[in-house]
Amino acid sequence: MPFAHKISFPQNDQSLEVLWIPLAAVNVWRIPILFLVSGMGAYFAMRRRDWKGLLKDRTLRILLPFIIFVFLVTPALIAGMYLAGWRENYALNFLHLWFLANLYIYILLSLPLMVYLKRKPDAWPMRALRCCMAVPWGLGLYLFGLPYVAEAVLLQPAGYEAYAFTLHGLVLGLICFISGYCMVSAGSVFWSAAERLRWLALLIALTLYGVRLIVFELESPSMSLVAFESLNWIFAIVGFGSRHLNRESRMLTYLSRSVFPVYILHMPVQFLLSYFVFGLPTSAWLKFVLVCLGTLIVCYLIYELSMRRLPLRWARPFLGLSPLPRPS
């Protein structure tokens, strides 16, 4: 299966190769949509502050956790993995924190565009973009597909899902970040277009994935087709999300606030759980369930006990949370 031999995570002696079938569908959009949503979040953050305030906020919430984990948590985890005997399965890197480094770079690069669109929200580029989005069925959204496909054609990545520490991942992430910012800058016309396009985008994504799975055994003959498949997965997810999740909800509010700290925590927790679970004399499927559920539960317990139930001010920057307002 693609890239199975390159994964630098702790691995069980027995592999579950069947998991590559659903993962092959998820892997082409899971990281791009995170950068796209990050661009959307930057737009909403920019509405409440100027560019200096945005840069200060993102420095505290992105760059600071990155530095803290790289210099404190990651070396300890590397040493633990080495001593535990995972010397062949673990490669020295920043783990999942490369995402934070890329995101901070995108914010720096996109600041001029953010300032321009905030000062001139009705400038001709945005007017033209809104006109394209008003096309029937939401087909105008495919205008955003041009840079996605161009990136795949020009860079020809060895694998579309190779995002970490690659030029492909760096450029694609920037495209997704700027796309997300411009999409929500268009206002309600974008959300309306995404909802109209959602079923067609889902059909195209499923069709392209089916061809990639059945005909080419998950190896696509063209990276541009994978890029187009990824774009349709994203449009489908955003469209269905806008249709069914765009409402007030305590659960959604809770999840939106906790997702970033849980992202930062999940990798060290997953590695440590793998150390204990993979040695158990039980089936690979049970180990898989234990590691997945255990990672989710432990991460949210840490978030609950240290961030919400006992709001430790000093610990919040470690997990990318904004400071609590000081009592008057």
The predicted model scores a pTM of 0.87
Side chain identity at residue 82, one-letter code? Y
Distance, CA of 24 to CA of 157 (rounded, Å): 16
Residue 1 is predicted with a pLDDT of 37
- In this structure, what token pair is assigned to residue 293? 């559920």
Q: What is the pLDDT of residue 131?
A: 92
Position of tokens 């029937």?
136
pLDDT at 190: 94
Tokens 């005909």, located at residue: 215
For the chain, 328 residues long, give each residue's pLDDT as a single digit of tens. 344 334 467 778 888 889 989 999 999 999 999 999 999 999 999 988 888 999 988 898 888 888 887 777 666 666 666 665 655 544 445 678 888 999 999 999 999 999 999 999 888 888 998 998 988 888 999 999 999 999 999 998 988 988 988 999 999 999 999 999 999 999 899 999 999 999 999 999 999 999 999 988 888 778 999 999 999 999 999 999 999 888 888 888 888 888 888 888 888 888 888 888 988 889 999 999 999 999 999 999 988 887 666 566 666 766 677 666 565 5
Measure the CA–CA gap between 325 and 303, rounded to whole angstroms: 18
159: Cβ–Cβ under 8 A, 6 or more apart, which residues? 2, 3
Rounded-to-integer distance, Cα 44 and Cα 305, Å: 28
The reported pLDDT for the residue numbered 312 is 64
Q: Where are the alpha helices (DSSP H) in the chain?
A: 20-26, 30-47, 51-58, 64-68, 74-83, 98-119, 124-133, 145-155, 167-185, 188-214, 223-244, 250-277, 284-302
Q: What is the pLDDT of residue 103?
A: 94
Please list, residue by residue across 5-16, b when 16 or more beta carbons sit within 10 angstroms of its beta carbon and e when fewer do: eeeeebeeeeee
In the chain, what's the furthest Cα-to-Cα distance?
Answer: 65
320: left (phi over 0), alpha (psi -120 to 50) or beta: left
Amino acid 153: pLDDT: 94
- In angstroms, how far is CA 165 from the centroid of its own chain? 15
* Whole-number Å distance between alpha carbons of 7 and 221: 23
Question: How would DSSP label each residue in 261-314?
Answer: HHHHHHHHHHHHHHHHHTTSSS-HHHHHHHHHHHHHHHHHHHIIIIIISS--GG
Identify the pLDDT of residue 196. Answer: 95
Residue ranges of domains in the chain: 28-194, 248-328
Cβ(33)–Cβ(163) below 8 Å: no
Provide the pLDDT for residue 5: 39
**What is the distance between the alpha carbons of residues 13 and 284, in angstroms, rounded to a whole number?**
8
Residues in the chain: 328
Burial bucket for residue 83 (CB in 10 Å: 0-12, 13-18, 19+): exposed
